[in-house]
C-alpha cells in the first residue's frame, strides 16, 4: 500500500513526515474564529493483501500508514459491536448495535488516535508529545504514551472533569491546567510546540488523529461483514466523524462495501457549530459553547470544513439535542443496556430517539459510544438522587 497526505481543501499532496501538519497554502487563509484551514487527510492506494474476514486485525493494520511493529503493546481498538436486546425492543429496531469504545484502555475512543500517533513517534524516534484537550485526548495520549515510553505534556482547561486529570497524572504526564476554555488550551499547546518542539497531537492539526479514528469504521465493517445503514456519532471538533468517513471511503474505494452509511452528527444544543453550518451552508461567527457534555464542547470545531464537506457529499444528517435529553438518554442507556457512558457519548441515544422516524425497523443502525461514564461522575450525578 502507498500512503500520502492530501489537503482536504486544495488537494495538494505531501509525504507523511513529522512536522507536516496543515497545508501551508490553505493554513494561511485561516482565521481564529473559524475551523482550521488546510486539514490533511491520509490517502492510501493499492489493494490490501489480507482478507478482512480471515484476519481483521492484520487487515486494519494494512490500511494504516505506520507499520504494525511500531505500535505500543497496549490493546487499543477491536472493541465489541454488540446487540442491546432491551433497547432493540424498546425502539423496535431489530438491527440496532452498540459499538462500545468505552472499552479502550483509557476509556475512550481517543485511544485510536493516540495509538497511531504513538506508533508514528516511535518510528521517527520522537520522544515527547504535546496535546491540548477537553480531557479525554489528554488522558488517552498520557496512557498510550506511557505504554510506548514517550513523555507527554498536556494542556487542559481547569474545568475538565477530575477523573480525566487524575488519569493523566497517574499515567505520569506533565499536566498544565489552563484558566479558560479548551480553545485557549489548544492555542497554548501550539505556542508551546512552536517554541520548544516535540510532536503536537492536537486533534485535526495532527493529520494522524483523523486517520487513527478511521479504525472505528474499519472494525464496524469487519464485525458486520458489511456497511451499516446508519451510524450515530457524537460531534465536537468533528474528527471522529471525519475519521469514520475516511474509513468507509477507503472501504468503498477498495470495493469492500457498496455505500457509505448515513452518518448522523449528534451535537449538544450549546455546542452545535457543525450542525448549524450543515443547515446554513457554511460556518458563521462562533457562539460560546455551553453544555455539560464536556467532550463535545467546543466553540470553533477544528475539523469543521472537512466534516461539513463529507456530510454534504454523503448525505449525512445533523441531530441537535439538549442537555436534558442527553442526561435522560444517559440513564436510559445505562438502565436498559448496562452500559454507562459519559454525557457526550450518551448523546447518540438522544440523537437516535430524535431521528427515530427517519430509520426503518430493519435498518442496521450503530450507536458509537465513545467514552466511559466513570470519567465524569459529576455530570451523571445531575440526573439522580444521592
Ligand X SMILES: *Cc1c(COP(=O)(O)O)cnc(C)c1O
| Residue 296 sits in the site that holds ligand X (CB under 6 A) | yes
Neighbouring CB atoms inside 10 A of 128's CB total 16
Query: In whole angstroms, what is the distance from residue 136 CA to residue 376 CA?
Result: 11
Check if the beta carbon of residue 275 is closer than 8 Å to that of residue 268: no
Edge-to-edge strand ranges of the sheet holding 13-14 = 13-14, 2-7, 40-45
| Residue 136 sits in the site that holds ligand X (CB under 6 A) | yes
| Residue 110 sits in the site that holds ligand X (CB under 6 A) | yes
Q: Which residue is nearest to ligand X (CB)?
A: 371
% helix / strand / coil in the chain, to the nearest 5? 45, 20, 40
| Residue 239 sits in the site that holds ligand X (CB under 6 A) | yes
* E strand or H helix that includes residue 327: helix 323-337
Shortest reach from residue 226's CB to ligand X, in Å: 25
Q: Output 95 or 108, the one with its CB closest to ligand X.
A: 108
Shortest reach from residue 28's CB to ligand X, in Å: 24
> Nearest 5 degrees, angle CA 210-CA 212-CA 218?
105
* Residues 156-195 as x/- pattern, contact with ligand X by CB under 6 A: ----------------------------------------
Q: Give the number of C-alpha atoms closer than 13 A to the C-alpha of residue 10, restricted to the C-beta side.
A: 13
| Residue 237 sits in the site that holds ligand X (CB under 6 A) | yes
Stretch touching ligand X by CB under 6 A, among 58-66, 166-174, 239-247, 250-258: 239-247
Q: Give the number of C-alpha atoms closer than 13 A to the C-alpha of residue 126, restricted to the C-beta side.
A: 21
| Residue 250 sits in the site that holds ligand X (CB under 6 A) | no
| Residue 139 sits in the site that holds ligand X (CB under 6 A) | no
Cell 460531534, residue? 235
Residue 141 phi/psi, 5° resolution? -65, -35
267 strand-pairing partners = 320
Closest CA to 121 of 208, 213, 13, 22: 208
Count each helix (H run) and each strand (E run) in the chain, helices first.
15, 13
| Residue 8 sits in the site that holds ligand X (CB under 6 A) | no
Q: Output 9 or 294, the one with its CB closest to ligand X.
A: 294
| Residue 318 sits in the site that holds ligand X (CB under 6 A) | no
Query: In whole angstroms, what is the distance from residue 121 CA to residue 135 CA?
Result: 21
Q: Output 42 or 295, the one with its CB closest to ligand X.
A: 295
Stretch touching ligand X by CB under 6 A, among 11-19, 42-50, 178-186, 228-236: 228-236
Neighbouring CB atoms inside 10 A of 356's CB total 12
Stretch touching ligand X by CB under 6 A, among 42-50, 75-83, 231-239, 316-324: 231-239
Q: Which of residues 320-379 bind ligand X (CB under 6 A)?
A: 342, 344-345, 370-371
| Total binding residues toward ligand X, as defined by CB under 6 A | 19
Shortest reach from residue 229's CB to ligand X, in Å: 22
Stretch touching ligand X by CB under 6 A, among 40-48, 235-243, 313-321, 329-337: 235-243
Positions in the binding site for ligand X (CB under 6 A): 108, 110, 136, 203, 234-241, 295-296, 342, 344-345, 370-371
Amino acid at each position: 500500500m502507498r500512503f500520502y497526505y492530501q489537503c482536504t481543501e486544495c488537494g495538494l499532496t505531501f509525504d507523511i513526515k513529522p512536522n507536516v501538519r496543515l497545508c501551508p497554502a490553505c493554513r494561511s487563509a485561516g482565521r481564529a474564529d473559524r475551523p482550521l484551514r488546510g486539514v490533511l487527510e491520509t490517502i492510501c492506494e493499492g489493494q490490501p493483501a489480507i482478507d478482512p474476514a480471515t484476519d481483521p486485525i492484520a487487515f486494519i493494520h494494512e490500511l494504516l500508514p505506520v507499520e504494525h511493529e511500531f505500535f505500543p503493546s497496549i490493546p487499543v481498538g477491536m472493541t465489541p459491536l454488540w446487540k442491546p436486546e432491551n433497547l432493540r425492543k424498546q425502539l423496535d429496531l431489530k438491527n440496532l448495535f452498540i459499538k462500545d469504545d468505552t472499552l479502550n484502555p483509557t476509556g475512550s475512543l481517543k485511544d485510536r488516535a493516540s495509538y497511531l500517533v504513538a506508533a508514528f513517534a516511535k518510528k521517527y524516534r520522537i520522544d515527547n508529545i504535546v496535546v491540548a484537550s477537553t480531557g479525554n485526548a489528554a488522558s488517552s495520549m498520557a496512557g498510550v504514551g506511557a505504554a510506548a515510553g514517550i513523555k507527554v505534556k498536556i494542556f487542559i482547561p481547569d474545568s475538565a472533569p477530575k477523573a480525566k486529570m487524575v488519569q493523566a497524572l497517574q499515567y505520569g504526564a506533565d499536566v498544565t491546567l489552563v484558566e479558560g476554555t479548551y480553545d485557549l488550551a489548544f492555542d497554548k499547546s501550539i505556542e508551546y510546540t512552536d517554541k520548544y518542539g516535540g510532536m503536537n497531537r492536537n486533534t485535526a492539526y495532527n493529520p494522524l488523529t483523523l486517520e487513527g479514528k478511521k479504525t472505528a469504521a474499519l472494525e464496524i465493517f469487519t464485525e458486520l461483514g458489511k456497511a451499516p445503514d446508519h451510524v450515530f456519532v457524537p460531534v465536537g471538533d468533528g474528527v471522529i466523524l471525519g475519521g469514520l468517513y475516511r474509513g468507509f471511503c477507503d472501504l468503498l474505494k477498495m470495493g469492500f462495501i457498496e455505500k457509505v452509511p448515513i452518518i448522523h452528527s449528534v451535537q449538544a444544543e450549546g455546542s452545535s457549530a457543525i450542525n448549524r453550518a450543515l443547515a446554513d451552508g457554511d460556518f458563521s461567527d462562533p457562539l460560546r459553547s455551553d453544555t455539560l457534555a464536556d467532550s463535545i464542547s467546543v466553540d470553533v470545531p477544528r475539523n469543521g470544513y472537512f466534516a461539513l464537506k463529507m456530510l454534504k457529499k454523503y448525505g449525512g444528517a445533523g441531530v441537535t439535542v439538549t442537555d436534558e435529553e442527553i442526561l435522560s438518554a444517559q440513564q436510559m442507556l445505562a438502565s436498559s443496556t448496562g452500559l454507562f457512558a459519559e454525557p457526550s457519548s450518551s448523546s447518540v441515544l438522544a440523537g437516535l430517539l430524535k431521528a427515530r422516524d427517519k430509520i426503518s425497523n430493519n435498518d442496521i443502525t450503530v450507536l458509537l459510544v465513545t467514552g466511559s461514564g466513570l470519567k465524569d461522575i459529576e455530570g451523571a450525578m445531575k440526573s439522580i438522587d444521592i
